[in-house]
Amino acid sequence: MCGIVGYTGPRQASRILVEGLKRLEYRGYDSAGIAVQADEPQTGAPLVVIKKKGKIAALRQEVPKDLPGHCGIGHTRWATHGGVSDVNAHPHTDNSGKLAVVHNGIIENYLSLKEMLEKEGAVFRSETDSEAIAHLIAYNYEGDLEAALKASLGHLKGTYGIACVHADEPGRIVGARNGSPLVLGVGDGEMLLASDVTAMLAHTKRVVYLNDGEVVSMLPHEFRVSDAEDRPIDPRIDHVAWELDAIEKEGFSCYMEKEIFEQPESIARALSGRLDGEYGCAKLGGLNLSKKELHAVERIRVIAAGTSWHAGLVGCHLFETVARIPAAAELASELRYRNPVVEPSSLYFAVSQSGETADTLYAMREIQRRGGTVLGICNVVGSTIPRESDGGVYVHSGPEIAVASTKAFTSQLAAFYLLALSFARMHDMPHHEGTRYLEQLKAVPGLVRDTLGQRDHVQAIAKRYSKAQDFLFLGRGLLYPIALEGALKLKEISYVHAEGYAAGEIKHGPIALVSPDTPSVFLVPNDHLREKTISNMKEIKARGGPVIAVAEQGDAEVMAIADEYIPIPAVDSRFQPFLMVVPLQLLAYFIALELARDVDQPRNLAKSVTVE
Ligand code: AGP
């Protein structure tokens, strides 16, 4: 959940490091730092280490504009062990100040390592687990940083992405990965190392995704990948498809706003090339399962966290109602530790925007260990979940930078709609229905664009309700997960308490929360659940609770009951989740703006959660 960057080459390292950290800031943003090899390497001069509590802007102020040095490492932190302070910020150094380390992950045995290393004379300055790595490598160092790192890895229990430099080895960066992502960027006479490709996109698109257990040693003109036993590994150089524009704000005030408004295009990308009009079916090339194997699937299970889990809930509803296959979505963090029954006839989907979420990754590994087949539904190409899964679907939403997930969610929905269609067409959905479903799916990007036209109306509502301390989000059926998603969005970026609930459940307890100060956001479907939902709305109104209703345009009955009405375009109820979520994203965004929150980087959070 932290961001690592490294640079070696002819250019001023500090500039590239700070700029790379800015790109990685979404991964963690409580403190940051860099270590740069001084520019007289022959003298073995110690490293220049600059660390600062706060965001990258605070670090930038501390780094002299003309800081010399062409090789260094940097880190942006999301605290796990030890509070947020300058001293706990990375890089951490050994006693001599010649060796510096940045680390992403958790070292579980750091206390016993610390005890051992202190007996050997190591002086610890921070409260972090990561500092133990610096002293351990120094303890094993005999003039070869790569060898020292390899000698140390066997003593580390836990997860890590590590990058380190030593003042006596000019131009060299050594990195290792176990459970936390690390990507090597191969430039023209320069090399980069980072937690993800966004930090290097401005410099190179040629990358090597390191696997767990691999160590990389790099100089400006060469690199070598090997395992901890020093067996060489033949690296595969991939080409990153993302453009630099995709990680710029492009005139929007923040990434979340940009990503909300990008959804017509990102959903279209998720569908592109996958609609088989001739057979009224979906074309999904990466599932790695034969038609026979897919046909034999008796049950579907989805594992995920947060917003991805909400997409999974919608997906499971579709698998059951459209494809008639029993399906259930489970929180990955729960599944792993409850000794799950893994049936050979079940198919599992691991859903993750980042492809790095530890809870989802470990649950996936547990299922695979028990013989289950797991397909990934992920956004970040080359991330761990798609690489370790048995096949899957990339959702192609493009880089999602805001901590609050928006466009990845609707792209995940798109993937589930395609999968549900594939299964349905294998079972009892006739050709003409498949064709109609495809036509409706094709129309979704345009309808999402129309829904975005409610921007100003939602902003006005957000202004009126921004002082509320509690919100309820209520929906039924396919819209229940959307209610959960609306509540999560509001909580995470505005810090306002919100509960997402199945509308039929409120009478079993939560209705006690209703008061004139607690708005209820109702998602009103246009199907058999409409009347039931309207009854639930009336129950809230009868108890004095204000109602904000999202419903199909022209719904006079809803308009008459609700205090606020947000119309969405008419569409078959099956596709309403795509449209219903948009006003909820906007509502959360505008309330957060009203409350002057940091929309892209809300407190206490980070984008990809690579710790359990
Ligand atoms: C979404 O707004 C959240 N930031 C969070 O719930 C997120 O969806 C969750 O951490 C899972 O992330 P993933 O999709 O990258 O696995």
- Indicate which residue's Cα is closest to atom 3 of ligand 1: 404
User: In this structure, is the dihedral angle defined by the CA atoms of residues 462, 483, 402 and 410, taken in order, positive or negative?
Assistant: negative
Q: Are the beta carbons of 33 and 90 closer than 8 angstroms? A: yes
| 168 Rama class: left (phi>0) / alpha (psi -120 to 50) / beta | alpha
Q: Is it the case that residue 566 has pLDDT exceeding 90? A: yes
User: In this structure, is the dihedral angle defined by the CA atoms of residues 266, 267, 270 and 275, taken in order, positive or negative?
Assistant: negative
| Closest ligand 1 atom to 408 CA | 14
Which fold would CATH assign to domain 252-429?
A: Rossmann fold (3.40.50)
Out of 354, 360, 611, mutate this one to test ligand 1's pocket (max ligand atoms within 8 Å of CB): namely: 354
Q: Which residue in 177, 192, 164 sits closest to 226, CA to CA?
A: 177
Q: Is it the case that residue 39 has pLDDT exceeding 80? A: no
Q: What does the pLDDT average to over 263-268?
A: 98
| Closest ligand 1 atom to 607 CA | 4
Q: What is the pLDDT of residue 40?
A: 61
Domain(s) labelled CATH 3.60.20.10 in the chain stretch across: 3-240
Q: Based on the residue annotation, tell me whether 2 is a catalytic residue of this protein.
A: yes
82 pLDDT tier (thresholds 50, 70, 90): confident
Q: 492 CB under 6 A from ligand 1? A: yes
- Write down the catalytic residue from 53, 407, 489, 607: 607
The CA-CA-CA angle for residues 416, 418, 422, to 5°, reads 115
The 3-state DSSP composition of the chain as helix, strand, coil percent (nearest 5) reads 40, 20, 40
Q: 93 CB under 6 A from ligand 1? A: no
Q: Which of 307-316, 568-577, 597-606 has the lowest mean pLDDT?
A: 597-606
Q: 94 CB under 6 A from ligand 1? A: no
Å from CA of 180 to ligand 1 middle? 16
pLDDT tens-place string over residues 521-543: 999 999 999 999 999 999 999 99
Å from CA of 607 to ligand 1 middle? 7
Å from CA of 409 to ligand 1 middle? 9
Q: 268 CB under 6 A from ligand 1? A: no
Domain 451-597 matching CATH 3.40.50.720: the answer reads no
Å from CA of 458 to ligand 1 middle? 24
Q: What is the pLDDT of residue 606?
A: 78
The whole-model pTM stands at 0.88
Q: Based on the residue annotation, tell me whether 281 is a catalytic residue of this protein.
A: no
Q: 609 CB under 6 A from ligand 1? A: yes
pLDDT tens-place string over residues 119-134: 999 999 999 999 999 9
Q: How far is Cα 127 from Cα 124, in angstroms, rounded to an integer?
A: 8
Q: How far is Cα 574 from Cα 596, in angstroms, rounded to an integer?
A: 36
Domain(s) labelled CATH 3.40.50.10490 in the chain stretch across: 252-429, 451-597
- Indicate which residue's Cα is closest to atom 16 of ligand 1: 352
- Write down the catalytic residue from 2, 71, 254, 316: 2
CA 568 to chain centre: 28
Q: 307 CB under 6 A from ligand 1? A: yes
Q: How far is Cα 123 from Cα 130, in angstroms, rounded to an integer?
A: 14
Q: 610 CB under 6 A from ligand 1? A: no
Euclidean distance between the first and final Cα of the chain, in Å?
10
Q: 353 CB under 6 A from ligand 1? A: yes
Task: Tell me the one-letter amino acid at 13.
Answer: A
Q: 411 CB under 6 A from ligand 1? A: no
Å from CA of 172 to ligand 1 middle? 35
Domain 3-240 matching CATH 3.60.20.10: the answer reads yes
Q: What is the pLDDT of residue 250?
A: 84
